[in-house]
């Protein structure tokens, strides 16, 4: 932006989606998948556990949506088969890594569709850019992204709407961006207390890796310190992680 850099951070993931931003990284190998199938004839309890994996389409169609339509990757079966362990994973970090990667891919002029947790991207825009916010959504609860659950713009005026949005982006100034939208009393009244525990908030400031299977992105919050109430010094050149973008062999094992 003309007024400085801004981005979606782990803080936004915590507030917007209510996901944990610490815990075990979300990864694994498909070569180990056979251990979850007992001779192709699982017992009834196993069937119920694996059925819940498909029922929980939130993973495959919301947080980690791709362009496969209504299909869900088998990578999620081992996770949801152990429901008691799901809370120990860093789902927030994984979702942000996937969004970063999808936004990187769609920057290619040959890519026309954007995948990823788009409800996070949309809510981040509406909360931080009031000029893009739809009217009539003043009330909100937890998590903050649920504020826009009823928003469903029509497609009849998609072309003019895109043109207008591009013009607005070109004209953006510092006053058009809310650097700290979560510090207001009305937000603090609805936020879940666990989100504000130091063991979580300390990670919002961390310059660290974000891991989602073979996808590894970088959480470069040192370039957006005003989003945390800090003063932004001249940033160093952005970290070059191009080598992490070309993990063809790894993606075949843990896509």
Chain centroid to CA 40: how far? 35
- How high is the pLDDT of residue 252? 45
In a domain, 3, yes or no: no
| pLDDT band, residue 36 (cuts 50/70/90) | low
Spatial contact of 63 and 95, defined as CB atoms under 8 Å apart: yes
Q: Residue 148 domain-assigned?
A: yes
Q: How confident is the model at residue 254 (pLDDT cuts 50, 70, 90)?
A: very low
Distance CA 39, CA 106 (A): 41
Statement: residue 248 has pLDDT above 50: no
Classify residue 2: in a domain, yes or no.
Answer: no
* CA–CA dist 107, 100 (Å, integer): 11
188 to 64, 98, 196: CA distances (angstroms): 28, 28, 10
The per-residue pLDDT for 230 is 93
User: Is pLDDT larger for residue 35 or for residue 56?
Assistant: 56
Is 235 inside a domain boundary?
A: yes
Alpha-carbon distance of 116 to 120, in angstroms, equals 9
Rounded to 10 degrees, what is the CA torsion of 211, 15, 64, 90? 40
Q: What's the pLDDT band for 249 if we cut at 50, 70, 90?
A: very low
**The pLDDT of residue 34:** 55
Type and span of the H or E element at 211: strand 208-212
Nearest Cα neighbor of 210 from 73, 95, 107, 120 is 95
Report if residue 5 sits inside a domain. Answer: no
The pLDDT value given to residue 242 = 76
Asked if pLDDT for residue 130 goes beyond 90, the answer is yes
In the chain, how many domains are there?
1
Tell me what the pLDDT averaged over the chain comes to: 84
Distant-in-sequence, close-in-space partners of 116: CB < 8 Å, separation ≥ 6? 64, 65, 98, 99, 101, 102, 103
Instruction: State the pLDDT confidence band at 163, using cuts at 50, 70 and 90.
Output: confident
Residue 4 falls inside a structural domain: no
Give me the residues paired with residue 217 across strands. Answer: 210
185 lies in which domain range?
Answer: 10-253
Lowest mean pLDDT among 27-31, 38-42, 77-81, 204-208: 38-42
Residue 211: strand pairing partners: 216
Mean pLDDT within 164-173: 89
Contact, 128 vs 120, CB < 8 A?
no
């Amino acid at each position: 932006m003309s007024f400085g850099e801004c981005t979606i951070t782990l803080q936004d993931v915590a507030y917007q989606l209510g996901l944990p931003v610490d815990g075990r990284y979300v990864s694994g190998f498909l070569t180990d998948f056979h251990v979850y199938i007992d001779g192709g004839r699982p017992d009834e309890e196993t069937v119920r556990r694996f059925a819940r994996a498909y029922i929980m389409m939130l993973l495959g169609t919301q947080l980690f949506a791709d362009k496969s339509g209504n299909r869900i990757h088998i990578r999620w079966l081992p996770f949801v088969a152990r429901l008691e362990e799901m809370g120990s994973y860093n789902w927030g970090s994984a979702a942000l890594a996937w969004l970063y990667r999808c936004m990187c891919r769609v920057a290619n002029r040959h890519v026309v569709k954007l995948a990823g947790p788009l409800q996070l991207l949309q809510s981040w825009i509406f909360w931080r850019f009031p000029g893009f916010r739809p009217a009539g959504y003043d009330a909100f609860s937890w998590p903050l992204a649920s504020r826009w659950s009823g928003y469903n713009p029509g497609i009849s005026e998609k072309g003019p709407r895109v043109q207008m949005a591009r013009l607005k982006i070109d004209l953006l100034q510092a006053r058009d961006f809310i650097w700290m939208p979560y510090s207001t009393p009305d937000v603090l009244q609805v936020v879940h207390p666990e989100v504000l525990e130091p063991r979580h908030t300390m990670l919002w400031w961390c310059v660290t890796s974000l891991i989602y299977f073979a996808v590894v992105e970088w959480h470069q919050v040192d370039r957006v310190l005003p989003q945390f109430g800090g003063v932004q010094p001249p940033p160093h050149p952005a970290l070059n992680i191009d080598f992490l973008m070309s993990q063809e062999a790894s993606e075949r094992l843990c896509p």
